[in-house]
Structure 1
Amino acid sequence: MEANAPQFKLILGSSSTARRKILADMGYQFTTMSADIDEKAIRKEKPEDLVMALAEAKAEAIIPRVSIGESEGDAEPTLLITCDQVVVYEGVVREKPSSEAEARQFMKDYANGHAATVSSVLVTNLVTGSRRGEWDKVEVPLLIYTQYSISRQIYFHDIPDQVIDKLIEEGIVLYAAGGLIIEHPLILPYVKEVVGSTDSVMGLPKALTERLIKEVL
């Protein structure tokens, strides 16, 4: 962070290792909390609406557990970041795999094809109640800016069965939207192209997060 940047406390409302790493790489110190909501109970037709609704539900679940009264007396405000992400493949929304078999099928489908990630970021100022969530969407060849999510295209080579087996054995893919973790060393050699920034694909776009933080302060 810049030396003259506003001072504040930061809570990341996510248990994602990738999001924690991205936020730390941005230079922030923060604590983490998990919403533990029933994500399947929230349904929206459009992936953009779904990820935003989930980010809002996570914020609403976490806020009552934060001691806002103490925050109001602090010189530094407290900000909460909540996020969500889905993968869209052939027009169908994919969330976290429900089984090893589904995770396997997801990864096989991506071979020689492409998937899009749709991610949301919501930042809430727990003292003022100010809340901002936005999205931009990247499509080839047009760049379209809209609100609430970030969409990125990922193209893959064939992913060998033995690689898929190892990923499923590790279990990480079962907790990733669409079973998609492009940053994993086993997957990296089979990623043909990523249209958009890697941090967006990993679930926390840096530039958007920075801007939303500034807007709620």
Structure 2
Amino acid sequence: MEANAPHFKLILGSSSTARRKILADMGYHFTTMSADIDEKAIRKEKPEDLVMALAEAKAEAIIPRVSIGESEGDAEPTLLITCDQVVVYEGVVREKPSSEAEARQFMKDYANGHAATVSSVLVTNLVTGSRRGEWDKVEIYFHDIPDQVIDKLIEEGIVLYAAGGLIIEHPLILPYVKEVVGSTDSVMGLPKALTERLIKEVL
């Protein structure tokens, strides 16, 4: 598989463990950088527009910090991947819960209901300036989620850092996921097929 010896350098502009794992699973070697941006300062009406705007803002914040050797004309291209994700519930965009109480409410809402994740991927070729981005949407349907499961998840704390307090790959939550319409890697923050295609498009 050519991905093991790619003819480009790859930077993942994210500190997300799940995204790092997915990209490594795809066979890529990469470095990570994270963008310190005020995500709350960027507002858009539609979730699809919001995640794309955030991925762009992250790219703009990281690009000036990357040094690319201009002298070597045949230098390998350097690609930067930036992403964002929100959860949409009943038409409302949900970001990371602001408190344990909010995380608990989010999860109670999902029980016997459904939510969607909207994830963006933006790949920028830092040598040519070529940039391609797209978003991906996945619908998730849940069975009832018992209160003690919600308590355990909150105690453990990971859900407090997840968009919409939504995690589906967690062993505690898995039994209560009824159906996922779309790919699990997209829910985890990095849709593999889309990322693969955008990388090819900017090279």
Q: TM-score range by the shorter chain?
A: over 0.9
Identity of aligned residues (%): 99
SS of the aligned residue for 1:29 comes to coil
Shift of 1:169: 1.4
Shift of 1:17: 1.0
Shift of 1:161: 1.4
Aligned CA distance change for structure 1 residues 71 and 184 (closer, same or farther; 3 Å) = farther
TM-score normalised according to structure 1 size:
0.88
Aligned CA distance change for structure 1 residues 46 and 189 (closer, same or farther; 3 Å) = same
What is the CA–CA distance in structure 2 between the aligned matches of 1:177 and 1:4, rounded to whole Å?
31
What is the CA–CA distance in structure 1 between the aligned matches of 2:67 and 2:182, rounded to whole Å?
37
Q: Which runs of 5+ in 1 are unaligned?
A: 140-153
Aligned CA distance change for structure 1 residues 99 and 60 (closer, same or farther; 3 Å) = same
Please tell me whether the aligned partners of residues 81 and 122 of structure 2 are also in contact (alpha carbons under 8 angstroms): yes
Please tell me whether the aligned partners of residues 71 and 78 of structure 1 are also in contact (alpha carbons under 8 angstroms): no
1:142-193 superposed Cα distances (whole Å, 9 cap, x missing partner): xxxxxxxxxxxx0111111111111111211111110011011111111011
TM-score normalised according to structure 2 size:
0.94
What is the CA–CA distance in structure 1 between the aligned matches of 2:9 and 2:171, rounded to whole Å?
33
Aligned residues: 203
What is the CA–CA distance in structure 2 between the aligned matches of 1:120 and 1:134, rounded to whole Å?
6
What is the CA–CA distance in structure 1 between the aligned matches of 2:158 and 2:120, rounded to whole Å?
21
Aligned-residue RMSD, C-alpha:
1.8
Match of 1:146 in 2: none
Aligned CA distance change for structure 1 residues 71 and 31 (closer, same or farther; 3 Å) = farther
Shift of 1:37: 1.0
Please tell me whether the aligned partners of residues 111 and 159 of structure 1 are also in contact (alpha carbons under 8 angstroms): yes
Shift of 1:100: 0.9
> Is 1:39 the counterpart of 2:39 in the alignment?
yes
Shift of 1:68: 2.3
- 1:61-210 aligned at under 5 Å gives the runs 61-69=61-69, 75-137=75-137, 154-210=140-196
1:17-61 superposed Cα distances (whole Å, 9 cap, x missing partner): 111111011000111111121111100000000000000000011
Aligned CA distance change for structure 1 residues 39 and 4 (closer, same or farther; 3 Å) = closer
Please tell me whether the aligned partners of residues 72 and 127 of structure 1 are also in contact (alpha carbons under 8 angstroms): no
Please tell me whether the aligned partners of residues 83 and 119 of structure 2 are also in contact (alpha carbons under 8 angstroms): yes
Aligned CA distance change for structure 1 residues 71 and 21 (closer, same or farther; 3 Å) = farther
Please tell me whether the aligned partners of residues 131 and 216 of structure 1 are also in contact (alpha carbons under 8 angstroms): yes
Shift of 1:75: 2.6
Please tell me whether the aligned partners of residues 120 and 134 of structure 2 are also in contact (alpha carbons under 8 angstroms): yes
Please tell me whether the aligned partners of residues 154 and 160 of structure 2 are also in contact (alpha carbons under 8 angstroms): yes
Q: Which runs of 5+ in 2 are unaligned?
A: none
1:98-124 superposed Cα distances (whole Å, 9 cap, x missing partner): 111111100010000000110100000
Please tell me whether the aligned partners of residues 132 and 212 of structure 1 are also in contact (alpha carbons under 8 angstroms): yes
Of 2-11 and 44-53, the range deviating more from structure 2? 2-11
What is the CA–CA distance in structure 1 between the aligned matches of 2:74 and 2:150, rounded to whole Å?
49
What is the CA–CA distance in structure 2 between the aligned matches of 1:96 and 1:4, rounded to whole Å?
34
Of 1-10 and 81-90, the range deviating more from structure 2? 1-10
What is the CA–CA distance in structure 2 between the aligned matches of 1:206 and 1:174, rounded to whole Å?
25
Please tell me whether the aligned partners of residues 119 and 137 of structure 2 are also in contact (alpha carbons under 8 angstroms): no
1:120-146 superposed Cα distances (whole Å, 9 cap, x missing partner): 00000111111000235568xxxxxxx
Aligned CA distance change for structure 1 residues 156 and 3 (closer, same or farther; 3 Å) = closer
Shift of 1:74: 5.8
